[in-house]
Amino acid sequence: MSSFTGADLIADALAQLEVEHVFAIVSIHNMPILDAINRLGKSKIIDVRHEQAGTHAADGYARASGKLGVMIASTGPGTSNTVTGLYEAQYGSSRVLVITGQAETAFYGRGLSYVHEAENQVPMLAAVCRRVESPRHINQLGSAFTAVINDMYTGRGAPAAIEIPIDIQYAEARPVQVTLPSNLAFAPDVGDIDKAVEALGQASKRIIVAGGGVIAANAHKELLALAELLDAPVLTTVDGRGVIPEDHPLCMGNYYNSAGIYNAIQGADLTLAIGTKFAVGVDGQFAAQTPPGKLVHIDIDGNMIGRTHHAHIGVLADAQLSLQAINSQSHELSPNDGQFNAKLLESRDGVRQAMRGRLGEDWPQVMDCIREKLPRDSVFVRDQTISAYNWGNQQFPILEPRTSINPTSGAIGPGFPMSIGAAIASSRKTLVIHGDGGFMFHATELATCAQYQVPLIICVFNDSGYGVLRWLQQNRFGRINETDLGKVAFAQMAQSMGVPAQRIASVEEFSYAMDLAMQTSGPYLIDVDMEHFAPMEISVMPKQKSEVDIRG
């Protein structure tokens, strides 16, 4: 083997991109790459137990850090396991790169049953990636890798993949220099900014709707500065949480789709929307919630501007550069109408109180306990589960950007592995709330947590089944079916894999368990037996048809 190979090229390129961790499962078709990464010593390999979990972990890593998330898989079955994780990353505009092997070039495409042969791997990956490359000669490897990276980092984030035939991994190569494209290509048009500033100046009852694109652009400081300048209340999407601290007086929270809040904001004469596509939700029930007043829509992806709602002024540009440009003309802007603001903030407080009241006696105390004991900069991850729907996605205060993660696609199961990636990325105590149904999808990653002493608190809210679907079935059919899973002893499961854990059955026990978890340097699992807690009112998906994966 030569002194510098195709595998070395990949290891060196990842180091240039300052990728500190990669997730992987070793295989005969990726061994050279993993060996090269370890020899170089610039990136640490995290050995996951399943490729889907590894891809979700890479996604959580990317969202928590803003860096590239990487999963290294084997060709064929290993790569097919990554597709669900790439699907979620695509839905969440997350920069996740899957690097996989392929049959050696002499056999690729000949149908000779080469082990792990996957002739249609590229189109399979292309279904869930913005770009897929498949170099067929060592001289193509460097350009293929840089093309993938450039595409991922141009405009809105997206996942991508590269398959590398095994003989190319072993072949003699030359290093490639990797540089990221400049965001200056997405600087706003001066005329568009002037129009936006003029519209903001003419309005006196303005609201801001901030999505995940603001966080992706690292524009939270600029957004907060503009909100304070305008004295404008800020509503966020679920992925936009953290753009403004949720204990800030101007933060309305993730309540745009709440009927009470939506009715209250109807007096607005302008909506400034930044980095959001206005997702219409299940059954399209939010499609009719037209932003009030004149809509000024800023997004780095032109396909998003005006897609759901007509934009009176569209600004195709990077969110940070756009907000900087608007803030530079702050002398032309005056604060909001005080009575309008007072009405909105009163509505916000009323909705928050009403939602808290529906949680029953115990669950508000559980939520408050987590917020009290969890550091302000800890990442809070939710899977799709009753606790997320009823308090995690809206009521639990998010205080900093990149500390709120949830499956954007609505899938259940990604929460746990995403939280592993987030904890590794941040090196800080991280907490995930999960239902027992979704947790079973990736429960084996407890072994990964133990192996690497991941600083993660895993809260499994255990109702022995798919609780939300039970509620939906009872309301729609008067009976339940296929939603009972039996009560699993998750604390014993965790302990068997080296993760300290306990089952709890009261608020007091939960508080004590949180103290132990915070004192533990590595992972800790809390199995919450919901049977012993006062019930909460479930109020999700009121329509007759549901396409969101809400089993947990």
Q: Which fold has domain 6-171?
A: Rossmann fold (3.40.50)
Handedness of CA 384, 359, 469, 527 (dihedral sign): positive
Q: 443: burial class by Cβ within 10 Å (0-12, 13-18, 19+)?
A: buried
Q: Which fold has domain 184-349?
A: Rossmann fold (3.40.50)
Predicted local distance difference test score (pLDDT) of residue 330: 85
Close Cβ partners of 140 (under 8 Å, ≥ 6 residues apart)? none
Predicted local distance difference test score (pLDDT) of residue 545: 37
Q: Fold match between 6-171 and 358-532?
A: yes
**Boundaries of every domain in the chain:** 6-171, 184-349, 358-532
Q: 227: burial class by Cβ within 10 Å (0-12, 13-18, 19+)?
A: buried
What global pTM score does this model have? Answer: 0.94
Report residue 94 as tokens: 């997350």
Beta strands in 146-280 (DSSP E): 160-165, 206-210, 234-236, 251-253, 270-274
Predicted local distance difference test score (pLDDT) of residue 542: 43
pLDDT digits (tens, 9 = 90+) for 225-284: 999 999 999 999 999 999 999 999 999 999 988 888 999 999 999 999 999 988 776 656
Would you say how long the chain is, in residues? 552
Predicted local distance difference test score (pLDDT) of residue 3: 87
- Asked whether the beta carbons of 229 and 337 are under 8 A apart, the reply is no
Reported CATH class of domain 358-532: alpha beta
Q: Do β-strands 96-102 and 160-165 pair in parallel, antiparallel, or remain unpaired?
A: parallel
Q: What angle, 0 to 180 degrees and rounded to 10, lies between the N-to-C axes of helices 31-40 and 6-16?
A: 50
pLDDT digits (tens, 9 = 90+) for 90-103: 999 999 999 999 88
Enumerate residue ranges in the chain where pLDDT < 50. 1, 541-552
Predicted local distance difference test score (pLDDT) of residue 112: 61
